[in-house]
Amino acid sequence: MDGRTLASIFDGPLRTALTRLGELWVRDPGGIMVEHRATDICIELIHHLRALLPPAAAGAPLAIGATPRDEQHGMLSQMASAVSREGSLRDMNFGASVPLELLGQFAEKEGAKVVWLSLTMKPRTGLRAMTHRLADELAEREATLVVGGKHAGAIGKHANIHVLNSMSELAAFLEGMRNGHHA
């Protein structure tokens, strides 16, 4: 890592490589297979990098997250988990296709201070309303909802939803939260 943060690696070389891989299928349908294999390798890399980090202190704030139901792309959620760990938070990633009501219940049960959602696919009907309900529930407990990914902006404005555009923005948000600048 040579002194680089995980966020800078995820936002820089990893994002560039995945963008290029994602375009391969345009020229050759077989590019889909290359993209899927590369995605698996990237997932292994994220897990390896996260494992190099020391665990957060037992009393550190908890950050949890996932992708909503019907979304199968869980890599950004894995990155968010690693960035949270690097930011000295306890982290739990629940992966892809998670019902928001269950994520909210778990956040309440475990006292999560931050919940993240990754939206890389166009949100299905009703997701915006469900996400706003989750944000309201979290606000009642002084917890915050962070949404990122290609379609994060489709969730709309809400006082307790922070739309972030990169892992570096997530890292900065978490740093601000630890310093008392956020919920």
User: Do 178 and 88 contact (CB within 8 A), yes or no?
Assistant: yes
Which of helix, strand or coil describes residue 115? strand
**Domain-by-domain residue ranges, the chain?**
6-178
- Alpha-carbon distance of 98 to 66, in angstroms, equals 6
Q: Which CATH number fits domain 6-178: 3.20.20.140, 3.40.50.11720, 3.90.550.10, 3.40.50.280?
A: 3.40.50.280
Query: Cα–Cα distance between 17 and 160 in angstroms, integer?
Result: 33
pLDDT at 181: 63
Pairing mode, strands 161-164 and 144-148: parallel
In this predicted structure, what is the pLDDT of residue 21?
85
Q: What is the reported pTM?
A: 0.92
pLDDT score, position 73: 86
**Angle (deg, nearest 10), helices 100-110 and 127-140:** 10
pLDDT attached to residue 149: 92
What per-residue confidence (pLDDT) applies to 1?
65
CA 119 – CA 152 distance, rounded (Å): 5
- 22-69 pLDDT per residue, tens: 888 888 888 889 988 999 999 999 999 999 999 999 999 999 999 999
Tokens of 150: 């290609």
pLDDT at 87: 96
Rounded distance, CA 65 to CA 147, Å? 10
Residues of the chain with pLDDT under 70: 1, 181-183
User: pLDDT at position 45, please?
Assistant: 94
